[in-house]
């Protein structure tokens, strides 16, 4: 039986503490916030998308290749079904949406029910829970961590599990400082990097706030005429400062990467066919339906609120009929639906991401135990690792699985 100290009472830390205590260890859980699971409570818009449906293999496919390789052993040991069984045993009912995302049953405070279940599990397993306990330093040198500093006093332990999360939404307690301490101890890390965040634009459209571009593809290119860097199928919603919505969140990391490298440009294709095909379709429409307004045609593919301002920007009259559309005007119309320019991004904010990319380098961690290589008594799990999955319950699943592995001492 070891004296285990877990730092961080979020998804990963709760599971790690419960698991270690269930195996008979004496566990102390230190959480900076006044209560446990603060980020869990706001996840999924307060509904908490716990995990994703499907086989472990299909879950792993959502991550990059190297992250999937790392996650494989811990996910197989504690997969989505294991998470759900645990929650069901604690009385949390769950359901799966058509898109595979799994949530607790829709009730007010449903995310809170998930936290309450984990809290019950850790307390019943005998974990000594300390909230309002922000650790301020790590003491020791490879290969042993001697202790932590809490309220200026040293805290000793035999095994230490760091589950302090990422660096986004710092108001939920995750300030990311532990990564800097680990780097100071010689642990290889990748700096925090924004991910799954809204993208501010150089030229935002506050008047369009709340309007969505649907069923198309957000595209990232190296400049307006540059080569394609990345793309994501899904909706985009205009915000005061830029764009949000599923496609914007998923493309935010690549966008920030491209921006830092010097050239990033965003556009939205409402019609996924090549411009030449759409041009031919407009020509056909001109012949078949010459008196159709260009505005009416555009409205079939773009939200009504955008039609008048976009026609104006393209230098086209609102009353223009297709038969009077000159070739240049037709090209402009086609461009609006195949590559609506959103323009250059501004820096993507780390703080507003649903996750933070970066973290402890996966090569420095044993994927079966989450033990840091070169250290005898130090383990890391959850978002503190360099793991970032897409939206859909994948990030919580990664936190639960790696937390379980870290607590399996």
Which positions touch ligand FAD (CB under 6 A)?
7-13, 30-33, 38-40, 42-44, 48-49, 133-135, 163-165, 168-169, 173-174, 178, 354-355, 382-383, 393-396, 399
Please, which residues bridge with residue 103 across strands?
95
Distance CA 258, CA 226 (A): 12
* CB 101 to ligand FAD: min, Å: 8
State which residue, 182 or 342, has the beta carbon closest to ligand FAD: 182
Distance CA 136, CA 155 (A): 11
State the burial class of residue 171 (Cβ atoms within 10 Å of its Cβ: 0-12, 13-18, 19+): exposed
* CB 12 to ligand FAD: min, Å: 3
State which residue, 173 or 329, has the beta carbon closest to ligand FAD: 173
State which residue, 198 or 216, has the beta carbon closest to ligand FAD: 198
Please, which residues bridge with residue 218 across strands?
232, 268
* CB 108 to ligand FAD: min, Å: 17
* CB 267 to ligand FAD: min, Å: 27
- Nearest CA among 141, 220, 176 for reference residue 386: 176
CA torsion through residues 332, 333, 335, 336, sign = positive
Q: How many CB atoms lie within 10 A of CB 258?
A: 22
- Nearest CA among 137, 164, 141, 163 for reference residue 152: 137
State which residue, 270 or 402, has the beta carbon closest to ligand FAD: 402
* CB 291 to ligand FAD: min, Å: 49
State which residue, 163 or 342, has the beta carbon closest to ligand FAD: 163
State which residue, 165 or 200, has the beta carbon closest to ligand FAD: 165
Please, which residues bridge with residue 93 across strands?
none
State which residue, 75 or 336, has the beta carbon closest to ligand FAD: 75
First to last CA, the chain: 9
* CB 210 to ligand FAD: min, Å: 19
* CB 377 to ligand FAD: min, Å: 18
Chain position whose Cβ is nearest to ligand FAD: 10
Distance CA 92, CA 121 (A): 12
In sequence order, what DSSP letters do the residues of 244-269 get, joined into one string?
ESHHHHHHHHHHHHHHHHT--EEEEE
């Amino acid at each position: 039986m070891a004296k285990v100290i877990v730092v961080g009472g979020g998804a990963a830390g709760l599971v790690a503490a419960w698991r270690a205590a269930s195996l008979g260890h004496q566990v102390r859980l230190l959480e900076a916030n006044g209560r446990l699971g603060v980020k869990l409570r706001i996840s999924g818009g307060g509904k908490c998308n716990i995990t994703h449906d499907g086989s472990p293999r299909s879950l792993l496919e959502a991550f990059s290749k190297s992250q999937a390789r790392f996650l494989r052993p811990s996910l197989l040991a504690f997969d989505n079904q294991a998470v759900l069984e645990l929650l069901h045993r604690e009385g949390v009912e769950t359901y799966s949406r058509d898109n595979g995302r799994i949530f607790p049953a829709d009730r007010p405070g449903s995310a809170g029910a998930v936290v309450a279940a984990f809290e019950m599990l850790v307390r019943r397993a005998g974990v000594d829970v300390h909230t309002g306990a922000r650790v301020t330093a790590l003491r020791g040198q490879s290969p042993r961590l001697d202790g932590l500093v809490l309220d200026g006093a040293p805290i000793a332990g035999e095994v230490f599990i760091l589950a302090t999360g990422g660096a986004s939404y710092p108001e939920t307690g995750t300030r990311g400082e532990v990564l800097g301490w680990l780097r100071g101890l010689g642990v290889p890390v990748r700096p925090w990097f924004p991910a799954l965040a809204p993208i501010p634009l150089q030229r935002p459209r506050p008047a369009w706030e709340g309007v969505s571009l649907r069923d198309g593809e957000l595209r990232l290119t190296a400049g307006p005429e540059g080569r394609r860097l990345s793309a994501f199928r899904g909706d985009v919603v205009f915000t005061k400062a830029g764009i949000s919505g599923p496609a914007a969140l998923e493309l935010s990391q690549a966008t920030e990467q491209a921006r830092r490298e010097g050239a990033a440009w965003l556009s939205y294709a409402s019609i996924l066919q090549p411009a030449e095909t759409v041009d031919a379709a407009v020509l056909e429409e001109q012949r078949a339906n010459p008196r159709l307004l260009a505005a009416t045609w555009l409205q079939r593919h773009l939200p009504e609120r955008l039609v008048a301002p976009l026609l104006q920007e393209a230098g086209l009259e609102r009353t223009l009929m297709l038969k009077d559309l000159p070739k240049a005007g037709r090209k402009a119309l086609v461009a609006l639906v195949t590559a609506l320019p959103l323009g250059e991004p501004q820096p993507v904010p780390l703080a507003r991401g649903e996750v933070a990319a970066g973290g402890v380098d996966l090569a420095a961690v044993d994927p079966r135990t989450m033990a840091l290589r070169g250290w005898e008594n130090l383990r890391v799990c959850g978002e503190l690792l360099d793991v970032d999955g897409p939206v859909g319950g994948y990030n919580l699943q990664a936190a639960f699985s790696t937390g379980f592995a870290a607590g399996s001492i």
